[in-house]
Amino acid sequence: MTIVIADIFGNSNIGVYCFACEGWAAVPAGTPSSKKKRFEDCLGVDVCEVNVAGSRLLGIMMAGNANGLVLPHIIRDHELETIKKSTKLNIQILEDERTALGNLILANDNGAIVDPAFPTSAIRKLEELLQVEVIRGHISGLPYVGSMAVATIKGAIINPLAHDDEKNTIKDLLKVQIEPSTVNGGVPFVRSGLLATSHGAVTGPLTLGKELMAISQVMQL
């Protein structure tokens, strides 16, 4: 269990371009094989090299946990086939106008919180796919819950401006301890600079010592 410092294509926003859940991760097409190997070893995952809708912004486009992976309706057929061949996760295409699912869904293997604008039909589909309770919520009063936190089955890093009632909701639903922190030297959108599983974490090279300490402690790395 460790924390790896890495960029992606020279960019410190590792969580914008990449996605990780227990056992599986995705990196953009063109990622060097040496970097994929580092991610595999650190996170304890199989790594899939793919784009979504022709975009490298995988962390923004997808969400999921050890039970399932949700993808936007704009994904292309060949991209979907690449993902299906790389994982045994159940996969759901969400037929919704929203496509930045990674920004709008915060999930671990115990629960999930989503943008309050999601219709009940979408929430029911997510509950069936992820096999957890799914509720609507905010972090820091904003609906972009997936961008505001990163959660594993061991702990969660959350935007430091989160309200107390939001923290309590996340702690109770996801059944983990939480720690307010920024990443990449003060960025409050935690997901943008952090990938994590129960095995390890990858964070951007601008991340400070105190931020690394918060990640290490709450995620037990």
The predicted-structure confidence for 121-167, as pLDDT tens digits, reads as follows 999 999 999 999 999 999 999 999 999 999 999 999 999 999 999 99
Q: Vertex 197, ends 85 and 186: CA angle to 5°?
A: 120
Q: Which two tokens stand for residue 4?
A: 């790896």
Per CATH, is 2-218 categorized as 3.75.10.10? Answer: yes
* 3-state SS class at 124: helix
- Output the pLDDT for position 96: 87
Question: How many Å apart are CA 1 and CA 64, to the nearest integer?
Answer: 22
Question: How many Å apart are CA 152 and CA 109, to the nearest integer?
Answer: 7
- Output the pLDDT for position 1: 65
For 111-116, what is the mean pLDDT?
Answer: 98
Mean pLDDT, rounded, of the chain: 96
The predicted-structure confidence for 171-216, as pLDDT tens digits, reads as follows 999 999 999 999 999 999 999 999 999 999 999 999 999 999 999 9
For 6-33, what is the mean pLDDT?
Answer: 97
Task: Calculate the alpha carbon distances from 89 to 30, 44, 84, 171, 219 in Å.
Answer: 23, 15, 8, 25, 23
The predicted-structure confidence for 60-103, as pLDDT tens digits, reads as follows 999 999 999 999 999 999 999 999 999 999 999 999 889 999 99
**Domain layout of the chain by residue ranges:** 2-218
Contacts of 37 (CB under 8 A, 6+ apart): none
Task: Calculate the alpha carbon distances from 205 to 14, 121, 141, 161, 187 in Å.
Answer: 9, 40, 28, 23, 12
Predicted model pTM = 0.96
- Output the pLDDT for position 77: 97
DSSP state of 67: S
